[in-house]
Copies of this chain bind each other. A is one copy, B any other.
Amino acid sequence: MDEFEVETLADPDLSDPVLVEGLPGVGHVGKLAAEHLVEELDGDAVRRIYSQHFPPQVAIEDGRSELANAEFHAVQTEQGQDLLVLTGDHQAQSNRGHYLLTDRILDVAAEFGVDRAFALGGVPTGELIEEYDVLGAGTTDDVVADLEDVGVEFRDDEPAGGIVGVSGLMLGLGERRDIETACLMGETSGYLVDPKSAQAVLTVLEDLVGFEVDFGSLEDRAEEMEEVVRKIQEMEQGTPTPSDEDLRYIG
């Protein structure tokens, strides 16, 4: 296998698709959000990237192995806006690997005529979140203004240390290739997988790009996670608190 191999799974005609990237990261916010789009909007896998820069690893499902990869999905929304959504279970495993992988991702994007991209992720706050703000960053003043219009927050020195990994390089290398790119980062505690933060990010993305997606399944996962949090808190405090679920069944 070469350092990178891009496999063609399908070749649909997409009209001005917007690239949406959601690889694993803080709170798995980007990954949850991107996978939700693919599932709810019936995305079709169109390209798969294998790389020696992914871990030397296969996933197993129903006894069948699958080599580490990242996958592009063609998503056609009811509102007419096409998306090209990148999901996967891995980031690259080295500094250079991040640069090389992001360039391959942008190669595929270019092939589909992408000129606008959104990198989705989470930004850790260190505490449980009440209201899920979404922070942003972009490669042009135009896209930054667009983000401001839909309520994305911009704060001095946040995220501290900038943005690292594929999402960071989507901005850095996207700009160098004239792809207008923004990063949407949902606030999240950083301790748990966070479907609510993913929903906050997708809500912003809906407004920005112009499409709609149902959040039912993501809300279900959020409730499961809240149940987990409640149980952890109970264990710490030694006294059970009634859950919404329990209350629902009283009387």
Contacts and interface: CB of A to CB of B under 8 A. Distances in A.
Chain A, interface residues (CB within 8 Å), range: 35 or more
Interface stretch (A24-32, A132-140, A225-233): A132-140
A145 to B, nearest CB: 9
B172 A63 contact: no
Contacts of A64: 137-141, 144
Copies of this protein in the complex = 4
Contact of A56 (B55, B138, B159, B165): B165
Contact of A95 (B1, B50, B55, B148): B55
Contacts of A136: 63
B164 A56 contact: yes
A172 B68 contact: yes
A95 B53 contact: yes
Given A57-B164, A62-B154, A65-B172, A93 B95 contact: yes
A175 B66 CA distance: 9
A60 interface: yes
A108 interface: no
A22 B58 CA distance: 17
A40 to B, nearest CB: 24
A175 B95 contact: no
A63 B99 contact: no
A62 B156 CA distance: 7
- What's the dominant secondary structure at chain A's contact region? mixed
Given A56-B98, A96-B53, A171 B67 contact: yes
Interface string A144-164: 100110000010001101111
A198 to B, nearest CB: 21
A248 interface: no
Interface in A82-132: 92-96, 98-100, 102-103
Interface string A179-213: 00101000000000000000000000000000000
Interface of A: 1, 3, 50, 52-60, 62-68, 92-96, 98-100, 102-103, 136-141, 144, 147-148, 154, 158-159, 161-166, 168-169, 171-173, 175-176, 181, 183
Given A52-B100, A57-B161, A65-B183, 15 more contacts: A1-B103, A52-B96, A52-B99, A56-B164, A56-B168, A56-B169, A57-B162, A58-B137, A60-B158, A63-B136, A63-B137, A64-B138, A65-B162, A65-B163, A65-B172
